[in-house]
Amino acid sequence: MATRRALLLIADIGGYTEYMQYHRSMLGHAEAATRRMLDRIVDAARDFDLIEIEGDAAFLSRDAEGLDGAATLSAVTRAAVAMHHAFHTQRRLVELNLCPCQSCTQTSALKLKFVAHVGDVATQTIRRRKKLVGMDVIYVHRLLKNSVTVPEYLLVSDDLFLNGGTASAELVAQEVAQDLEGIGRVQTFYVDVEDMPAPLPPLPEPSFLLRIGATLDMVGRGLPHVLPRRRARSLAPAG
């Protein structure tokens, strides 16, 4: 199986499990809200290809052949900043739509974090679906379980950071050792998203028309989840 050099990036929504559990009574809107955010995250990473949506995370990749270390790390930081801004813009729009349910009005606890690595991957096709496989794919997923305490961050492997040259020098990064399951002890580096070198523009305040559109979209996306529950209740025997 042929391998190639690839830049691997995972954007993971923090607080997703608690959000879904707390708002399970309005599961349709909670699922619709996170799906909209994931859609915008993927759209914002223009130089990356979506490999898979993994629950509350988007796994993306791009070809790293021909990119030097600085260009590789810069590609990650640019994507992270763009995805972070797109996520919070959409989260704010969901929060301010006209639906009064708590699934819509209480999205402020949701955060976005990133992990990234560069390595060798192979492409595997199963039932016409392409997947990336290899030890480096496992590696980047293992990075999600870490000891970083800031709510929103970019965590990168040592290979990606130490070969980043001028791009590494621009980051206010902290070194942290990790024990990765099945891999062992490794060194990684993280930076708070707020300390990223690219500017983070202020979140735009959505217009009333945008809020109306967001409300209709949320209602439409939530109906497939709500209707089966109502039908099940109507068919339940009276007791």
10 Å Cβ neighbour count for 82?
A: 17
Q: Report pTM.
A: 0.81
Structural domain harbouring 32: 3-219
The answer as to whether 232 is a domain residue is no
The verdict on residue 225 lying in a domain is no
Residue 70 lies in a domain: yes
User: How confident is the model at residue 152, as a pLDDT?
Assistant: 95
- What residue ranges of the chain have pLDDT lower than 50? 23, 25, 223-236, 239
Tens digits of residue pLDDT in 49-74 = 999 999 889 999 999 988 899 999 99
pLDDT of 56 reads: 87
* CATH number of the CATH domain containing 156: 3.30.70.1230
- Longest CA–CA span in the chain (Å) reads 70
Closest listed residue to residue 34, CA positions, set 218, 204, 202: 218
Q: C-alpha angle with apex 45: 41 to 50, nearest 5 degrees?
A: 80
Structural domain includes residue 236: no
Instruction: Indicate the number of domains in the chain.
Output: 1
What was the pLDDT predicted at 108?
A: 75
Whether the CB-CB separation of 117 and 140 falls below 8 Å is answered with yes
The answer to whether residue 69 is domain-embedded is yes
